[in-house]
Amino acid sequence: MSDKIVIFDTTLRDGEQAPGSSLEIEEKVEIAKQLSKLNVDVIEAGFPVSSKAQFEAVERISGSTDGPIIAALARSIPKDVKKAYEALKNANNYRIHTFAGTSDIHIMGKFSDTKYGINLNEKRETVIKMAADAVTYAKTLTDDVEFSPEDAGRTDINYLCEIIEAVIDAGATVINVPDTTGYTMPLEFGEKILLIKKKVRNIRKAIISVHCHNDLGLAVANSLSAISSGARQVECTINGIGERAGNASLEEIVMSLNVRNDYWDFDTDIVTKEIYNTSKMVSKHTGMIVQANKAIVGDNAFAHESGIHQDGFLKNRETYEIMTPESVGLNKSKIILGRHSGRHGIQSRLSELGYELTNKEMNKVYSKFLELADKKKEIFDDDLRILMGDRNVNKNNSYELDYLHVNNGTNTIPTATVRIKTPDSIEQESATGDGPVAACFKAIKRALKLDYDIKLHDYKVRSITSGKDAFGEVIIRLFINDSLYISKGTSTDTIKASVKAYLDALNQYENDKNSRYLLFIEESVNV
Ligand code: KIV
Ligand code: ZN
């Protein structure tokens, strides 16, 4: 019997900490449901003490996701552990994941106050006590407690073993060894795991987990090396998103174990056919584009360009492919949907893509589908994903675009007329601007009589489906009253996509004035 590797997905916690990632609560819940279909063992849903939005996301996911254990992060501080428990308590199975910085750099930086001790040795003792106390307290709330000595990759090995032993004595059942800064080399990291196994007296009472960052591009290699040495849980994210250069990528670890099962004697419970849909969903909701040559899920991962490769591939697929696209859920033979497609066909394709809709939601999606089918001859999977990502589908927005007319040309002043539906009126205005998009934004502001301060910080446009009638996605970052809002709009027309993105940001602001972009103001927390 091969050993099982526990897959701990931290896309919604560490992945969400990726610069530029933007996830709303509904999107997090949708991703959690998809992770459950992917059959991950643990979903780390967030860091509840860090903001109201994080707390609510963990609470919602706990109450609505079946299957995986739901975990939440907490510093080794009682109020963090309590908040994590409060957010998790409705989950069928939950885990409190508490951590404390253990490298000298972390200890001297995070615990610089003399109340933690006057020198490194005293501070080290305090950190051990805080960690053990946090685990003891968490144990009164659940049996399933994980502890992470943060920056373990750069932590003195003897001290690392000492703190691990103390938290296992306090009841920790999972010991996670994070290479927080992506500093270690694969063989070195593997040796660290062997040393921990050798030196920590009670290590058999806990599962060893690893959590690798990708600062030197070694996160997956380090995770696999740790597995060779005895780690039986890996923490990873979809598409490898996460702080800075990201975390170990789930799909790369899982497919390494799967494709090379002649080399590894380990299994995971991952339903690999759900990998591609999950990757797409995470990319769309976070706004983080997957590079084309990314292993497993990049657009080019199964594309053969050169004549020699194409010839070889056509004669025998295995000449240039070590796994089939179907094994990760890439549907090569696409079902073509179009204006003659019925609700049933669309709903069943959406369900294959991971979207389960109520009848009411389906009615909205279907009318949007028909609108789109009038403009595009063929509707592909990516188009459906965009329809689902269109925030207007799932939410009752305050502002909706009703009409747009733009006048632009080489010798004309760009002019836009917009008509916007608000919950109780229809507002129309025109404005000129330096360009058509600026004219639209000005007209909207005027139509809605917005008196708050709005500054455009960043504007990006990209094509997200193929063909001449491809969808364009506009991602904008706006400061509204000094809070940052990141929003997206998609359309076959770039100006319309820009308007939708702008309205999306305004809707976020209206819907949630205390949004998560006010992150860490209320409680200043650093991870
Ligand atoms: O990278 C890290 O050390 C972390 C811990 C909180 C597990 O994310
Ligand atoms: Zn991390």
CATH match for 3-286 among 3.40.50.300, 3.20.20.70, 3.40.640.10, 3.40.50.11540 = 3.20.20.70
**Domain boundaries, given as residue ranges, for the chain:** 3-286, 302-329, 334-393, 400-514
Mean pLDDT over 446-474 rounds to: 83
Query: Per-residue pLDDT for 457 more than 80?
Result: yes
What is the reported pLDDT for 473? 84
Ligand index nearest the alpha carbon of residue 148:
1
What is the reported pLDDT for 313? 63
Determine if ligand 1 sits within 6 Å of the CB of residue 124. Answer: no
Determine if ligand 1 sits within 6 Å of the CB of residue 150. Answer: yes
HSE of 4, CA atoms in CB hemisphere, 13 A? 9
Distance CA 276, CA 38 (A): 10
Mean pLDDT over 477-488 rounds to: 81
Mean pLDDT lowest among 87-91, 411-415, 464-468, 515-519: 515-519
Determine if ligand 1 sits within 6 Å of the CB of residue 155. Answer: no
Cα 180 to middle of ligand 2, angstroms: 5
What count of residues does the chain have? Answer: 527
What is the reported pLDDT for 375? 74
Pocket test for ligand 1, best of 213, 214, 215, 237 (most atoms within 8 A of CB): 213
Percent of the chain with pLDDT over 70: 89
Determine if ligand 1 sits within 6 Å of the CB of residue 245. Answer: no
Residue 41 gets which letter from DSSP? S
Cα 75 to middle of ligand 2, angstroms: 13
Query: Per-residue pLDDT for 396 more than 60?
Result: no
Q: Which has the higher per-residue pLDDT, 37 or 461?
A: 37
Q: Would you place residue 513 in the very low, low, confident or very high pLDDT band (cuts 50, 70, 90)?
A: low
Among 302-311, 353-362, 477-486, 492-501, name the most confident range.
Answer: 492-501
What is the reported pLDDT for 1? 63
Ligand 1 atom at shortest distance from the alpha carbon of 10: 8
Closest protein CA for atom 5 of ligand 1: 150
State pTM to two decimals. 0.72
What CATH number was assigned to the domain covering residues 400-514? 3.30.160.270
Q: Would you place residue 386 in the very low, low, confident or very high pLDDT band (cuts 50, 70, 90)?
A: confident
Cα 246 to middle of ligand 2, angstroms: 8
Q: Say whether 400-514 and 3-286 share the same fold.
A: no
Query: Per-residue pLDDT for 382 more than 90?
Result: no
Please say whether the beta carbons of 116 and 126 come within 8 A: yes
Q: Where are the beta strands (DSSP E) in 51-91?
A: 69-75
Write the pLDDT tens digit of every residue in 334-379: 445 777 777 877 887 888 778 888 888 888 888 888 888 887 766 7
Instruction: Say what angle helices 52-64 and 78-88 make with each other, to 10 degrees.
Output: 40
The mean pLDDT of the chain is 89
Closest protein CA for atom 8 of ligand 1: 14
Ligand 1 atom at shortest distance from the alpha carbon of 148: 7
Ligand index nearest the alpha carbon of residue 180:
1
Ligand 1 atom at shortest distance from the alpha carbon of 527: 6
Determine if ligand 1 sits within 6 Å of the CB of residue 99. Answer: yes
Write the pLDDT tens digit of every residue in 68-86: 999 999 999 999 999 999 9
Ligand 1 atom at shortest distance from the alpha carbon of 243: 1
Pocket test for ligand 1, best of 148, 234, 241 (most atoms within 8 A of CB): 148
Cβ neighbours of residue 182 closer than 8 Å, sequence gap 6 or more: 153, 212, 213, 214, 215, 216, 218, 219, 244, 245
What is the reported pLDDT for 284? 87
Mean pLDDT over 285-309 rounds to: 80
Ligand 1 atom at shortest distance from the alpha carbon of 178: 3
Cα 333 to middle of ligand 2, angstroms: 38
Determine if ligand 1 sits within 6 Å of the CB of residue 211. Answer: yes
Cα 150 to middle of ligand 1, angstroms: 6
Closest protein CA for atom 2 of ligand 1: 180
Query: Per-residue pLDDT for 58 more than 70?
Result: yes
Among 172-181, 334-343, 389-398, 505-514, name the most confident range.
Answer: 172-181
Instruction: Say what angle helices 25-38 and 52-64 make with each other, to 10 degrees.
Output: 40
Distance CA 227, CA 245 (A): 22
Q: Would you place residue 517 in the very low, low, confident or very high pLDDT band (cuts 50, 70, 90)?
A: very low
